[in-house]
Structure 1
Amino acid sequence: MASMEMEREHARKRSATQSEEEHPVPLIQGSVAQYFRGSTPTITQERFDKLILNFIIQGLHPLHTVERPEYRDLFREILPSRHLISRRTLGRMLEDEHLSMKSKLTETLSKQNHVCTTTDAWSSNNKSFLGVTIHWINQENLSICSGALACRRIIGRHTYDVLAEMLEDVHRDFNIKDKVTVTTTDNGSNFVKAFSVFAEVQRTIQDREEEYEEEEEGHPVFINVTDILHEEEEDYSLPPHQRCACHTLNLVATRDIEDALTQSEPFKKISRSTMGKCQALWNKQHRSTQASDIIKDKLGCQLTVPSPTRWNSTYHAMERLSICILTKEQDLQETCEKLQVTRFKAAELTFIREYVQVMAPLAKALDVLQSDRMAYTGVLVPTISILVEKMERMKHETNLHHCYPLVDAIISGVKQRFGYIFQDARLLIASAVHPMFRLAYIPSGKKADVVSNLKAEVNQLQTQSPDDHMQTDGEDPTVDSDEVPGYFPSLKTTVLNEVDSYLQSTETKLVNAFQNLPMMKMIFLKYNTGVPASAACERLFSVGKDIFRPKRNRLSDANFEKLLLCRVNKHLL
């Protein structure tokens, strides 16, 4: 009997299980508000306010977002226990966040011996601003670190003295006036004049020694003190100047190429006709939605439209057309017919392919110089050297039908605009102390001078701090009784040969290359702390454009700068 009862019980359980599987009980999902109202501890008010501030800054939202009805209804529903801050409170929190960011950045910069800055001017919504970014090398892993210092309103004309005063004020605010090794700007005449009038001239150790010898041998120079006292012009102090290499290369790719049109009449004819048809296509897409739809339907992609304010834009636009020619030439011709643009001739299609082929090395050089990871001073000389080598090789080895004058114009423009870098001792030393290059791209006639400058730098470091650098591992300074400690320090062979050891090494990784060469590492930090391009300012203005939109033109200059700097310097907060 007991066994029969047990079987019946098991049967009832199986039946109930099958019934639940066939007719499951629906689950009721709780609301978000029920979750936050439950017993689970919610976030603190301070944390909640911090998240809201981060949402406003990183999301590029207007400050008045916190007072919009939709915003307040949302958080009243999901977090009724939390107080919602007002626009005024958010403004005070933004001020505190900006001060905290500035304090941390100033503290970080105080630990650096060498920094560099970039600066440029930008206009939006009938207002002008001066942007300043800063860069330094991490002393542990030798990677490049960056931050934004300012984006301040320029009132009135952008004259050279106004820019000099504003830049000096920014450097002084962050206590880096004596640490800036170089400031990189574009080729604007106002910036060039500001630095030509107020900038210091950076010299190597050897240059300073020769200048000192000349002063000792020369005759005394008498100065009229009255003229100095009555001098009305402000005397600002700016760091050494570096022209933006990317902006200069862009001038080669635009203005200098125009010289090729005057050198060859056939090239001028084919260039004008091809570029005219390309421009007609770009205009059609840019101005007409119907034309844009036709291009998308026939080619499967939109064409890249050049922008005069963006480097490499013409190259990328021609590259897109070249890809269309290789993959969908017939579709491209049909697109021209539909848009009432004259079809491309065979010679013009060949010109587009050759144009892309010739301009590719220059576009690659631009990408290298504006890179964040490779923005060392020592990259400039090798990059330009490789560019010239590639163009020379293309001139002699590549079978071109139309673009030989274009190659000649690029070579001529690069040599004319960048010839100074192969005479600049600072740039040559920076390249020599970069483990990826060493003396590989130093002109043969300059190698001896560069090595001599490096040894002079090492000798100066030994003289300044002999106790730190003279003693090698395992040595006991008290063993040699013939020397007076700290007075007649012996120049150990291992230390004197740091330059030779470095130049003979084949290690290309930065950290490993200087592992046992402390003085060479210090020289690397000194000469490679300087970005060759001002692309960082362009990136700063790109973010600024998203904040200072036309519908936000009532945003105050102070709040705009705080929002911009807090967003760009997020990694410092």
Structure 2
Amino acid sequence: MEKSWKYAHYFTLVGTSGKNVVVRCQLCGESKTFSTAKNSTSNLLKHLKGTHSTTQLVEKEVRLATARESRVSLPAKQPKLDFSREPRVTLEELNQLVAGYIVEEMLPLSTVDSSSFRRIIDKIPSNNNVHLPHRKSFTSYLENEYKKMKAALKLALDDVQFVSSTADIWTANNRSYMGVTIHWFNQDTLERHKAALACKRVRGRHTFDVIAAELEQIHSSFGLLNKVVATVTDNASNFVKAFKTFPPPESDEDEKEEEEEEEQEDVLFTDIAEALTSVSDEGHITLPPHYRCAPHTINLISTSDVEKYLTSSQATKSVYRVTIAKCTALWTKASRSTVAAEQGQEVSQMKLLDPSSTRWNSFYDAVSRVAEIPMNELNNLCNKLGIKCFNEKEYQFMHEYCIAIKPLTAALDILQGDECPYGAIQTRFSIVLDNKDALLAAISCPKFKLRWVKDGARKQQLKNLLVAECQILSSSAGDSDKTDNVPNKVITTVTGMEFFEFESNELSELRGFELDTLSNYPAVKKVFLKYNTPTPSSASVERLFSLGGLVLTPRRNRLSDSRFEKLLLMRYNHCFTSPDHLKKSEQ
């Protein structure tokens, strides 16, 4: 419905004269009239501001449908939208909006019973008899939405051939939980996707067999036992032992070799009853290949390995310990005293950082922040705080320490060297540097291919490795149907190693960086999907635990384990924002 001019209630319509209208000012009395254009109110506004400047004017917008007879109707210069039919919200839409708000913002479920919150909801135009359900009914609605999300996730994973997972254990409020996330590529767009599978309560000790049983059960519940190409965890001894004790099943080629060896051996008779009674649960558990989290491995290098190197020599041992001790005293003062923190901020123009035990780079950042302060200003700050000053040798040591540690924040491929402490990279990453899976992941990626290999014989060896893997995957079950429709030229390009011929001209080299080029080489694309699906770190499951800390707050310690897991998974997977790869299945 159209709205009139905000001061139209001060005038009464007398008549019309062509393109003008004649009105009477109610503030002036009955005798005085004014003529103004139908599409302009400037004359009337000037009259009010000039003649009635001492009067407190009140703005009022009167709907023309109810006051057209007694108010001045001034035609608008532009057509106005008709808002007479306001959109109405259905019960399903209302539940979706409220559930999305509560889950995404990690609010208590009792929010729906809050009187102030319900007053806000009541202002939303809705159909008749549509009201927000109370907590009990709303909880049942969330249960159904969780079932839909889980079914949609299973449906999305059914079409994926290769997936990888990350796992870790988190403890909060005297409870322990195992979190598992899953990662995969969209086979058409090569876009990486992720989702959270579980955050289950783990009772008792976190032994290797408990971890193995829980992890296999989670993978099995989503039908992923034969799809998980690797699981990424940190370097915790219980996780490492679990994967060593329950390795993945041997390949068909290894089994054939063992069968041939067994045929040549003498026949041995076994007591069947004894064999059946001696079978343990360990024989039924198999875990996927294990990858260690690269950032966690770097953490070990930057902490334990660097400290071992610096304390192994008397020349560096004393200066290292004294310098770090003075820095620690400075951080302690700044973190425990507001006066000290303000003084530090005045000197450095930035806040002094307090290292965190969970992130190694925070220690580097804290030392680097201290090293940025000029030496005379730094010692002035130490005098104010009652801390021993830094001498020239210790101040220089901080700068050299930062220069030496800074490369560890960059990518792993730029870290080289055989001498300590960087020699620890060769020790801790030796398995990865010569690992077949890691090599296939690198050479099947168009961005790298063989650019990082200098030795000619090594290049040829890796080419043969890729061709052999392409042939194995192409001859796997169910693959013949997909490759039958592929032109012969595409198959010959793989066996002819044309995938590596990127140095012929600059244009082809630039195009080789795009993942889209893998569509021309379906066998190489399959190798890429299999060996690049694993993530380099377990940061995804750490983010899951970060959200868990916001859901399982001390005030919500009575939240059941099952409900906590469901709320957390819906939040992590953005259940109510409907991502494209996790659209809810129709029921």
TM-score normalized by structure 1? 0.80
Greater share of helix: 1
User: Which of residues 133, 137, 143 is equivalent to 2:191?
Assistant: 143
Deviations 1:540-563, CA, capped at 9 Å, x for gaps: 111111111112111111111111
2:70 corresponds to: none
Greater Cα offset, 104-113 or 428-437: 428-437
Mapped pair 1:497 → 2:493: yes
CA distance in 2, matches of 1:198, 1:166: 13
Q: Distance in 1 between matches of 2:197 and 2:308?
A: 40
Q: Structure 2: which amino acid aligns with 1:121?
A: I
- Which of 335, 353, 374 matches 2:381? 335
Provide the secondary structure at the position in 2 that maps to 1:497.
helix
User: Residues 446 and 515 of structure 2 are in contact (CA less than 8 Å); yes or no, is this contact kept in structure 1?
Assistant: no
**Aligned amino acid, residue 234 of structure 2:** D
Quick check: 1:229 aligned with 2:229?
A: no
Structure 2 Cα separation of the partners of residues 103 and 348 of structure 1: 60
Cα distance change, pair 262–421 in 1 and its aligned pair in 2 (3 A): same
Residue 162 of structure 1 aligns with an amino acid whose one-letter code is: V
Contact 2:302 2:360 in 1 (8 A): no
Check 1:11–1:345 CA distance in 2 against 1; reply closer, same or farther (3 A cut).
same
TM-aligned CA distance change 1:270 to 1:438, over 3 Å: same
**Correspondence for 1:190 among 238, 244, 247:** 238
1:102-501 residue pairs with structure 2 within 5 A? Answer: 102-200=150-248, 209=253, 212-213=256-257, 215-216=259-260, 219-220=264-265, 222=268, 224=270, 225=272, 228-234=275-281, 235-322=284-371, 324-325=372-373, 330-365=376-411, 383=412, 385-388=413-416, 408-442=419-453, 444=455, 446-464=458-476, 465-466=479-480, 468-469=482-483, 473=487, 495-498=491-494, 500-501=497-498
* Cα distance in structure 2, aligned partners of 1:162 and 1:29: 71
Q: For 1:123 and 1:462, how far apart are their aligned partners in 2?
A: 44
CA distance 1:202–1:277, change in 2 (3 Å) = farther
2:295 alignment partner AA: C
Return the alpha-carbon distance in structure 1 between the equivalents of residues 300 and 249 of structure 2: 25
Q: 1:261 to 1:223 in 2, by over 3 A?
A: farther
Alignment-derived partner of residue 525 in structure 1: 529
In structure 1, distance between residues paired with 2:426 and 2:285: 33
Unaligned runs of 5+ in 1: 31-36, 366-382, 393-407, 474-491
CA change 1:537–1:463 in 2 (3 A) is: closer
Change in CA separation of 1:290 and 1:217 when aligned onto 2, cut-off 3 Å: same
Q: Which amino acid in the other structure matches residue 465 of structure 2?
A: N
Offset at 1:263? Answer: 3.0
**Conservation of the 8 A alpha-carbon contact between 1:428 and 1:442:** no
SS in 2 for 1:239: coil
Letter in 2 for 1:230: T
SS of the residue corresponding to residue 71 of structure 1 reads: helix
Matched-pair contact (CA < 8 Å) for 2:474–2:480: yes
Amino acid at match of 1:47: E
2:86 corresponds in structure 1 to 40
Which digits, 9 at most, give the CA deviation of each residue in 1:192-243, with x for residues without a partner?
111111121676xxxx657745753663374745554222531312111111
| 2:499 maps to amino acid | Y
Shift of 1:466: 4.8
In the TM superposition, residue 345 of structure 1 has moved relative to its aligned partner by 2.2
Task: Give the equivalent residue in structure 1 for 2:44.
Answer: 16
1:27 matched residue in structure 2: 59
Shift of 1:186: 1.1
Pair 163,209 (structure 1): closer, same or farther in 2 beyond 3 Å: closer
Cα offset, 1:497, TM superposition = 3.4
Residue 11 of structure 1: how far off its partner (Å): 7.4
TM normalised by structure 2 equals 0.78
Partner Cα distance (1:8, 1:526) in 2: 79
Mark the CA change 1:28 to 1:238 in structure 2 (over 3 Å): closer, same or farther: farther
Q: Give the gaps of 5 or more residues in structure 2.
A: 1-17, 23-32, 37-41, 63-82, 503-508
Question: How far apart in 2 are the matches of 1:530 and 1:51?
Answer: 35
Q: Give, in whole Å, the separation in 2 of the partners of 1:175 and 1:111.
A: 11
Check conservation: 2:169, 2:179, Cα contact below 8 A: yes
The equivalent residue for 1:485 is: none
What secondary structure does 2:537 align onto? Answer: coil
1:132–1:151 Cα contact (<8 Å) kept: yes
Task: Map Cα deviations across residues 23-60 of structure 1 (whole Å, 9 max, x no partner).
Answer: 59543589xxxxxx986233222211211111110111
- Do the aligned partners of residues 515 and 12 (structure 1) sit closer, same or farther apart at CA in structure 2, a change above 3 Å counting? same
Quick one: structure 1 residues 315 and 18, their matched pair in 2 at CA, closer, same or farther if it must change by over 3 Å? same
Of the structure 1 ranges 77-86 and 306-315, higher mean CA displacement relative to structure 2 is found in: 77-86
Mean Cα deviation higher: 116-125 or 339-348: 339-348
CA shift at 1:20, angstroms? 3.6
Closer, same or farther: CA 451–39 of 1 in aligned 2, 3 Å: closer
CA distance in 1 between counterparts of 2:113 and 2:235 reads: 45
1:563 counterpart = 2:563: no
Change (3 A) 1:109 1:348: same
Larger relative contact order, structure 1 or 2 (CA cutoff 8 Å, min sep 6) = 1
Q: Judge conservation of contact 2:323–2:394 (CA < 8 Å) in 1.
A: yes
Corresponding residue for 2:543? 539
SS in 2 for 1:123: strand
Alpha-carbon distance, 1:12 to partner: 5.0
Aligned residues of 2:230 and 2:290 also touching (Cα < 8 A): yes
In 1: Cα distance, 2:144 partner to 2:45 partner:
62
Counterpart of 2:89, as a letter, is I
- Tell whether the 8 Å contact from 1:425 to 1:450 is kept in structure 2 after alignment: no
Q: Tell me the percent identity.
A: 35
**In structure 1, distance between residues paired with 2:375 and 2:210:** 54
Quick one: which amino acid aligns to residue 501 of structure 1? Answer: E
Out of 549, 556, 566, which is 1:552 matched to?
A: 556
Alpha-carbon spacing, 1:443–1:104, altered in 2? closer, same or farther (3 Å): farther
* 2:91/2:132 contact within 8 Å kept: no
CA gap 1:100/1:521 in 2 versus in 1, 3 angstroms: same
- Structure 1 residue 71, shift from structure 2 partner: 2.1
**CA–CA separation in structure 2 for the residues paired with 1:29 and 1:424:** 76
Conserved? CA contact 1:244–1:532, under 8 Å: yes
Change (3 A) 1:274 1:151: same
How far apart are residue 318 of structure 1 and its match? Answer: 2.1
Aligned length: 503
Aligned to 2:73: none
Q: Is the 8 A contact 1:116 1:135 kept in 2?
A: yes
Amino acid corresponding to residue 133 of structure 1 in structure 2: T
Q: Output the CA distance in 1 between the equivalents of 2:122 and 2:20.
A: 57
Secondary structure of the 2:347 match is: helix
